[in-house]
Structure 1
């Protein structure tokens, strides 16, 4: 039985990936530091982590822990990461240490003990703004929105001639436009892994995750996925807080589909390549807040549109998944509505500490909200 090491495997995506890989017949080992921001101050093994998954409590930045975790391993799924655009803009040293140094420590260990496959989690954040179509029908990569326009509440993307741009699906061929420290971290993780894999003969793939949602997401972490942040607000009978005008568009993909993409990548014969992992559909953040309130039985808690902008945020980005479908055989199987209903069922007996306003105040204090 092949053994897979999942770094960060006790977290949201990692635990679902463990389930999928166990179901596919793999032996699973998890390396996770059980970060208090994700797992709470008790730092106990989460109840949702499969009993058959071996857990090593350790940090990916610790060479001794990493070398121990790699013993007898055939493949590696590298998910360990500090997550969140907003926090990355002020907790810079910590994000670089966890995301970039942690990846470097893992890669140095793999150089000494190569495995058959390395799959690293990247992010849609590396694209910055997604691709758009101009009024003449050409496809363009929008420039970063000027802060002056954002301060005036002009949120949309414009061409150089001032004409509006229409967002379209973004393929892997779009050049990176790194607008946050987190985006820079994820691109560094991706490139370091691909470069090292090629040098040491390790078949390596990077998966660019879009907005992942589903059960087990850390509800008390104000820098996690937007649906979990909205859920935390709603569980505390508070309206979701929506930045800008709420019409910014994202791609929401269910965590089980993401876990299946991880299995496909680990089993793929492809190497030295990157793939989008999304739904291929776009939804506005405001509509997401309204849909979640409805399925949670709190339709009266209408989203509060703040009209504010956070440093590092982008306007629109959703995935072109044709490359992933053609080469990995990946196609989403969980519809958004089904996934949202499932999430509502999971949330029914959850307790969350709402820290969204505290996080926003921290960003305001640092001048990162306009």
Structure 2
């Protein structure tokens, strides 16, 4: 029997890949709810790459997850919900607090409110939530004196003096990074992370009460073709690309050694779709990442080489409040429950991403504007 899948945020970067993968399968029909925000899609969203990539693969509803009537209508006859709609900028969340709370928390609340009013008529069997590695804060480390620890974050005074390493909260010893498991302590360092953790708690509370299965995915740094080149608040690959193509210098924050766990968007979509009808994933929180860390300076150097850019890479010591030092996912659970292993290497993924970028319009003017906004709010510190 064919099931209708509602993908909120389905015209977004991750959502568009999920929609195309679902549409290629015969047992699903796809409905998308997306507001086509300017920050992601530009001033003419109907002409954006992401919207054009999915418009013929789904039933499309343009609307906001904060609009209760629109959400209620979108849920009619739906068997599954993949909830991707969210505000996603870590730095931006620290001063656009009401915006992030209203979209991320109240948006999901609207879904449950609508389902509760459906009562026995509710057809939703399962909800998939896209959460984030940001809920871990700095993640899991090992202290030579205290064993496994979950540090709260780096001290601003240390970073002002050029120390961007992690130190134990108890004894101040320098820490060693270890892969973060799903049972690790959650210590959000940003408002964005707080809203994602709030979403997780809402799912864990309401789904069992309403007899709905769920899976929560904590995504690491997702990248690939289709990543927004217009949103200056997320995605260092997009930010670096627009600067490199103009042969403009790149100011790399901190000491350049901060690292991230990159996973290709197509691998993310594969895991998400696989979880719909995999009972072993029900009621679980699952990391999705590569399990490998890559430093920011390594990423910049790789992109510069692929583009053949003459840009200078300047390590500045500047930093954003709330940014983590490192985080690498332990992916054992994804392998055991979903049989999932990423298939696209970072080198291959970056090469494909760069080829795609070369065919797109780029604009880096909003990046400096975003830094000015964060600096004005005290969330971005420039070293003198």
TM-score, L = length of structure 2: 0.93
1:365 alignment counterpart: 376
1:61-76 → structure 2 map (5 Å cutoff): 61-76=66-81
Could you list the runs of 5+ residues in structure 1 that have no partner in the other structure?
none
- Secondary structure of 1:48's counterpart equals helix
**2:244 matched residue in structure 1:** 234
- Report the equivalent of 1:89: 94
Question: How far off its partner does 1:114 sit?
Answer: 4.5
Structure-1 separation of matches of 2:10 and 2:261? 23
Q: Return the alpha-carbon distance in structure 2 between the equivalents of residues 24 and 140 of structure 1.
A: 44
1:158 aligns with 2:167: yes
Which of these residues, 289, 299, 313, is aligned with residue 300 of structure 2?
289
Alignment of 1:154-233 (within 5 A): 154-159=163-168, 160-233=170-243
Q: Secondary structure at the match of 1:143?
A: coil
Give how far 1:137 is off.
8.7
Deviating more after overlay: 48-57 vs 85-94: 48-57
SS at the partner of 2:234? coil
Deviates further, 10-19 or 36-45: 36-45
- Structure 2 distance, partners of 1:110, 1:18, is 22
1:10 corresponds to 2:20: no
- Contact 1:214-1:254 at 8 Å conserved across structures: yes
1:174-193 residue CA offsets vs partner (Å, 9 max, x unmatched): 11101100000111111112
- Quick one: distance in 2 between partners of 1:239 and 1:131? 34
Indicate the SS of the match to 1:118: strand
* Per-residue deviation, 1:134: 2.2
Shift of 1:43: 2.5
CA contact (8 A) 2:104 2:195 kept: yes
| 8 A Cα contact 2:181 2:330, kept in partner | yes
Shift of 1:304: 2.5
The answer on 1:51 being equivalent to 2:52 is no
- TM-fit CA distance, 1:16: 0.2
Partner of 1:31: 33
Asked if residue 276 in structure 1 is aligned to residue 287 in structure 2, the reply is: yes
String of CA shifts for 1:223-251, please: whole Å, max 9, x gaps: 12221221222233323332111101110
Helix, strand or coil at the partner of 1:95: helix
Give ranges in structure 2 of 5+ residues lacking alignment.
none
CA distance in structure 1 between the aligned counterparts of 2:39 and 2:126, rounded to whole angstroms: 30
Checking the alignment, whether the CA contact within 8 Å between 1:230 and 1:289 is kept in structure 2 is yes
Please state if 1:131 is matched with 2:136: no
1:234-281 alpha-carbon deviations (Å, 9 max, x no partner): 233323332111101110000000001111221221322210011111
What CA distance in whole angstroms lies between the structure 2 residues aligned with 1:260 and 1:326? 15
TM-score (norm 1): 0.96
How far apart are the structure 2 equivalents of 1:231 and 1:195? 41
In the alignment, the residues of structure 2 paired with residue 165 and residue 18 of structure 1 have an alpha-carbon distance, to the nearest angstrom, of 41
263-272 or 123-132, which moves further after superposition? Answer: 263-272
RMSD over aligned CA atoms reads: 1.4
| C-alpha deviation, 1:366, in angstroms | 1.4
Q: Is 1:140 aligned with 2:142?
A: no
Task: Show structure 1 runs of 4+ deviating over 4 A.
Answer: none
Residues in 2 aligned to 1:29 and 1:243: alpha-carbon distance in whole angstroms: 40
Q: CA deviation at 1:306?
A: 2.3
- 8 Å CA contact retained: 1:123, 1:210: yes
CA distance in 2, matches of 1:109, 1:242: 45
Q: 1:337 aligns with which of 323, 344, 347?
A: 347
Q: Equivalent residue of 1:204, what SS?
A: strand
Counterpart of 1:195 in 2: which secondary structure?
Answer: helix
Equivalent residue in structure 1 for 2:321, among 300, 311, 319 = 311
